[in-house]
Structure 1
Amino acid sequence: MSRQHPQINLSRRSLFKFGAGAIGTSVLTAGLSSNLLAAENKAPAEDDITPDKAFQELLEGNERFVKAKRRNPHQTHSRLVEVAKGQKPFASVLGCADSRVPSEIVFDQGLGDLFVCRVAGNIATKEEIGSLEFGSLVLGSKVIMVVGHERCGAVDATIKGAEVPGQIGSLLEAIRPSVESSKGQSGDKLENACKANILAQLKKLKSSPVLSKLIEEEKLKIAGAYYDLDTGKISIVG
């Protein structure tokens, strides 16, 4: 990765609207590589898309996946060459690292379509939030979907109070408040906790000054979704 940090043009002008309190331009300059900035300036031309349209495109893609009618769009060599010049994803996904929930497949999308952050338990850490801020503010993603899923192992381990080694415990600590908030609800304990966790991560994302400003300007939509491992179906949560 290049260590050179050229002047930021369009991105910096956009970021100034949030003021130094929202995100420091010096921090942004130090943290983003020249390759990413070049990607912004040379992004391939895309049709303008509204947040609602982007949201609907995700749902329609999932419906095709469930019905085994995938189109497998944007997976050709020509698309590979096109997006090598720059990216302009229409949607972002904060998903679980679970190998059974690959975003591009379950939403029937392809190269350059989705800006994906994956972490066990689909938790919105500072790093994940920062990445999604970049995806929306700089790259132009119109929707962020937080995707939790059925029988999530990280949530289940939190419910059971599992003793875990290394840094795994940090994941369970982040999920614990959601488990506590879902106690006493009727129905399946694990499903309730998984959905409560989705809602908690939505709240974190919406508390971001960068993302909340984009929502206020109707440039971004944030939604939660629950993925059924048995059917592949996405259902909206929150």
Structure 2
Amino acid sequence: MNSADQPRTPTQAWAEMTRGNKRFVEGEPSHPRQDVERREQLLGAQTPHAALFGCSDSRLAAEIIFDKGLGDLFVVRNAGQIISDSVVGSLEYAVAVLHVPLIVVLGHDECGAVRAAIDSQVPDAAPLPPHIHHLVEKIFPAVKRVAAGSEDPSAAPDPTEVGREHLRDTVAELVQTSELISDAIAAGTLAIVGANYRLLKGMAVPDIIVGAV
């Protein structure tokens, strides 16, 4: 896909992301747009197909998972995909300046930040280092909701369920925090897909969609 026929609607962008992830899952990636010619094409400008906000986990290499190339994805990452001012500002730049039609928020199973948030809520748990605590405290509401809904109050919350709840919280906070992003969704020029990445299968599974794809 060259710059002339890149996806310009949320539906087209998500379809392209899905096709790329399917190739990756099936072990048949095409490794597109990774050559010298592509580097030269991008020298003056970038026109990414989508923005991706995901966890910093080393197993979530966005361009590999979705079989993308140079200049295809505008990627923002931190541990546990935690919303912050810098994250919102970066994603607003992608929408307002780069005109991406899609934001993918990517969580995953076996997330270390989710595990840290769960473990920190155990009675007599050792305190987390301050910066880590500040990072993962936004996962605490998801931990508490999952724990409250458990049939066994003494059991540790299911990390997969906590991760799913946190992903939904993240998408909701992004929409609520950014008027620019929420306005673009209302106008139909942008959609957000919150997906969970399955480490073993390599599949990005949609969980929450805001807008039309």
Structure 1 length normalisation: TM-score? 0.78
Partner Cα distance (2:66, 2:56) in 1: 16
Query: Is 226-235 or 163-172 further displaced after alignment?
Result: 163-172
**Does the aligned pair in 1 maintain the 2:8–2:100 contact within 8 Å?**
no
**Does the aligned pair in 1 maintain the 2:20–2:67 contact within 8 Å?**
yes
Alignment gaps of 5+ in structure 2: 121-125, 152-156, 209-213
Name 1:46's counterpart in structure 2.
4
Name 1:3's counterpart in structure 2.
none
Aligned partner of 1:175 among 126, 129, 139: 139
CA offsets 1:106-164 (integer angstroms, 9 cap, x no match): 00001000000000001111110110011011101110011000110100110011632
**Does the aligned pair in 1 maintain the 2:82–2:136 contact within 8 Å?**
no
Secondary structure at 2:42 match in 1? helix
Task: Name the aligned partner's letter for residue 110 of structure 1.
Answer: G
CA offsets 1:205-225 (integer angstroms, 9 cap, x no match): 111100011111111010100
Partner Cα distance (2:8, 2:136) in 1: 37
Partner Cα distance (1:195, 1:59) in 2: 20
Aligned residue pairs, count: 195
Partner Cα distance (1:185, 1:192) in 2: 11
Higher relative contact order (CA 8 A, sep 6+): 2
**1:82 and 2:82 are equivalent in the alignment:** no
Moved over 3 A (4+): none
**1:198 and 2:157 are equivalent in the alignment:** no
**Does the aligned pair in 2 maintain the 1:46–1:88 contact within 8 Å?**
no
Name 1:223's counterpart in structure 2.
193
Query: Is 201-210 or 103-112 further displaced after alignment?
Result: 201-210
CA offsets 1:79-121 (integer angstroms, 9 cap, x no match): 0111121101110111000001100000000100000000000
Secondary structure at 1:84 match in 2? coil
Task: Name the aligned partner's letter for residue 199 of structure 2.
Answer: L
Task: Name the aligned partner's letter for residue 216 of structure 1.
Answer: A
Task: Name the aligned partner's letter for residue 80 of structure 2.
Answer: G
Map 1:1-238 onto structure 2 (within 5 A): 45-47=3-5, 49-161=8-120, 163-183=127-147, 184-185=149-150, 189-207=158-176, 208-238=178-208
Secondary structure at 2:4 match in 1? coil
Task: Name the aligned partner's letter for residue 180 of structure 1.
Answer: K
RMSD across aligned positions (CA): 1.7
Q: 1:185 to 1:137 in 2, by over 3 A?
A: farther
CA offsets 1:48-95 (integer angstroms, 9 cap, x no match): 521111011111111100001101011011101111211011101110
Partner Cα distance (1:132, 1:185) in 2: 35
Q: 1:112 to 1:159 in 2, by over 3 A?
A: same
Which is strand-richer, 1 or 2? 2
**Does the aligned pair in 2 maintain the 1:185–1:192 contact within 8 Å?**
no
**Does the aligned pair in 1 maintain the 2:107–2:163 contact within 8 Å?**
yes
